[in-house]
Amino acid sequence: MVKIGFDNEKYLALQAEHIRQRMSQFGGKLYLEFGGKLFDDYHASRVLPGFQPDSKIRMLETIRDDVEIVIAICAGDIEKNKTRGDLGIGYDQDVLRLIDVFRGLGFYVGSVVITQYAGQPAADAFIHRLTALGVRSCRHYPIAGYPSDVAHIVSDEGLGKNDYIETSRSIVVVTAPGPGSGKMATCLSQLYHDHKRGIRAGYAKYETFPIWNLPLKHPVNLAYEAATADLNDVNMIDPFHLEAYGKTTVNYNRDVEIFPVLNAMFQRIQGSSPYRSPTDMGVNMAGFAIVDDEACREASRMEILRRYYAGMVDRVRGKADDSVVRKLEIVMQQADVTPDICPAVAASLQVAESTGMPAGAMVLPDGRIVTGKNSSLLGPSAALLMNAIKALAGIDKDLDLLPASIIAPISDMKISHLGHHNPRLHSDEVLIALSISAVTNPLAELVLKKLDELRGCDAHFSIILSEEDTKLYNRLGIHVSCEPKYEIKKLYHK
């Protein structure tokens, strides 16, 4: 069973109270930059077992009447059709999805701000679409000399050229579909315009990782470095906090590097800076809610291993270069991580070697290891999934819950009518077949009820899985890693 290492309810209470305190510090108006995922933070839930993926939004729900949400998206990302890797949708589409989710939870979404706007046609099209949908949008422009030329930035020709975002709530949460969207610049722009209007306001940053009051090389913080290996983020001791208070805290390179500039901006905008260090700017209380440090260390090491395999797969797919993999290898060494910490790795490779077939293995909640391999009608992911839920239900793995008489017609339909070349069933197709069989087969119904027990399990495969199988495993909450090689040698893979 997964060991709980994080007290989620304590975290929610501490976080909400800390944000209220920060708001009162600035006279009742706070621009709160949210880093990372706002309501589906699965990385945090993996490295802090007990952290709920929707914890941040649940925390905001406790102060919902004070909260207004502004979503930032970079015009360049719209133009490049940048996509969210976990969802497979463009940033512009994710903005619409986020608005729907926030509204569905009862939050007020005030505006969408298009940052780095320079007349990009795709950005114009998106602005027109927002207008047609009744969503207010604002444009923020590139500023020459940003972020070093403070005198120019903090002027009517710099931040002053940006559209002012009309807000009506005391806490303005600035979020985005992904990194590099211009959240901080949006907050600074608002501070400048508010100051010119005589409105007293402040800024704070809510970034869960790295956790400032954990050691620099704590596996939780190293897992953050692994997660951002493509951005080349590096955790480091906050030198400004150490000098100001004599205390060691952890931040990351980009915030440390930009802090002197931010400090100068605060001084020019408001006459003085409220902060003496990048750590001061944060409002993250996650470190105080860790109740089992060893459980979090163990979970973080597993996450680092998964990130390593994901990096190697991305390199094969052309989505990452050698530098990303090298960075992940360094993080593994620092966290004392090897493939041996995940029994599914060795088990899957052993089956693949002994059978000559693509194979997978999974560690069940009770520690048992089940395996699955290619057959004429099932791929390794489908076979592994079947074997896993049969094991949880106490059913012999050799018992055929889906005989060939059921699978063969589905396989034939894929080849003869749907244009597929692979006759084997994917994981989702197997589950649909099982659901149909459950009408007349009580054992099929029994194993389907075991699917929820797979959440949090680790699975490893000897080949790169298809997108369909990967998405299905992710929806079931199974942590997947793969060896960086395809089953078939060809140039195009789906």
pLDDT tens digits for 83-141? 876 677 899 999 999 999 999 999 999 999 999 999 999 999 999 999 999 999 999 99
- The CATH number linked to 58 is 3.10.630.10
CA distances from 376 to 63, 391, 401, 419, 432 (A): 56, 22, 16, 18, 19
Q: In whole angstroms, give the CA distance from residue 92 to residue 96.
A: 7
Pair 269, 356 in one domain = no
Instruction: Flag whether 308 is in a domain.
Output: no
254 has pLDDT over 90: no
pLDDT at 490: 63
- Phi, psi (rounded to 5 degrees) for 87: -110, -20
Q: In whole angstroms, give the CA distance from residue 88 to residue 82.
A: 10
- Phi, psi (rounded to 5 degrees) for 205: -125, 130
Instruction: Flag whether 342 is in a domain.
Output: no
Instruction: Flag whether 254 is in a domain.
Output: yes
CB neighbourhood size of 475 (10 A):
11
The average pLDDT across 463-475 equals: 92
The average pLDDT across 63-87 equals: 90
pLDDT at 415: 75
CB-based contacts of 161, cutoff 8 Å, min separation 6: 141, 143
pLDDT at 391: 96
pLDDT at 453: 96
Pair 283, 359 in one domain = no
Range name among 126-140, 144-158, 279-293, 302-316 with the lowest pLDDT average: 144-158
178 has pLDDT over 90: no
- The domain of 30 spans 8-223+231-289
Reported as a pLDDT band with limits 50, 70 and 90, residue 289 is very high
The average pLDDT across 50-69 equals: 92
Pair 266, 355 in one domain = no
Reported as a pLDDT band with limits 50, 70 and 90, residue 230 is confident
The helix (run of H) or strand (run of E) holding residue 346 is helix 343-355
Range name among 116-125, 139-148, 236-245, 403-412 with the lowest pLDDT average: 403-412
Check residue 111 and report its DSSP letter.
E
494 has pLDDT over 60: no
Pair 63, 191 in one domain = yes
491 has pLDDT over 70: no
Pair 150, 55 in one domain = yes
Q: In whole angstroms, give the CA distance from residue 406 to residue 73.
A: 48
> Token pair of 222, please?
């190293």
- The CATH number linked to 459 is 3.40.140.40
Around 314, how many Cα atoms within 13 Å sit in the side-chain half-sphere?
A: 19
Reported as a pLDDT band with limits 50, 70 and 90, residue 452 is very high
Measured between its terminal Cα atoms, the distance across the chain in Å is 34
Asked whether the whole model's pTM tops 0.85, one would answer yes
Instruction: Flag whether 301 is in a domain.
Output: no
The average pLDDT across 276-286 equals: 95
Count of domains forming the chain: 2
Pair 285, 378 in one domain = no
Average pLDDT, the chain: 92
Instruction: Flag whether 450 is in a domain.
Output: yes
Of the candidates 413, 385, 411, 390, the one whose C-alpha atom is nearest the C-alpha of residue 400 is 390
411 has pLDDT over 80: no
Range name among 248-252, 270-274, 275-279, 481-485 with the lowest pLDDT average: 270-274
Position with higher pLDDT, 400 vs 488 = 400
Instruction: Flag whether 52 is in a domain.
Output: yes
Share of the chain above pLDDT 70, in %: 98
**Contact present, 73 and 92 (Cβ < 8 Å):** yes
Instruction: Flag whether 85 is in a domain.
Output: yes
Domain boundary at 272, 289, 306, which?
289
Pair 148, 239 in one domain = yes
Domain boundary at 243, 270, 289, which?
289
Domain boundary at 242, 266, 289, which?
289
Of the candidates 180, 181, 159, the one whose C-alpha atom is nearest the C-alpha of residue 112 is 181
Pair 104, 28 in one domain = yes
Pair 155, 47 in one domain = yes
Instruction: Flag whether 381 is in a domain.
Output: yes
Share of the chain above pLDDT 90, in %: 73
pLDDT at 28: 77
Pair 207, 138 in one domain = yes
Judged by phi (left if over 0) then psi (alpha if -120 to 50, else beta), residue 402 lies in beta
Reported as a pLDDT band with limits 50, 70 and 90, residue 319 is confident
293 has pLDDT over 60: yes
Reported as a pLDDT band with limits 50, 70 and 90, residue 25 is confident
Pair 252, 384 in one domain = no
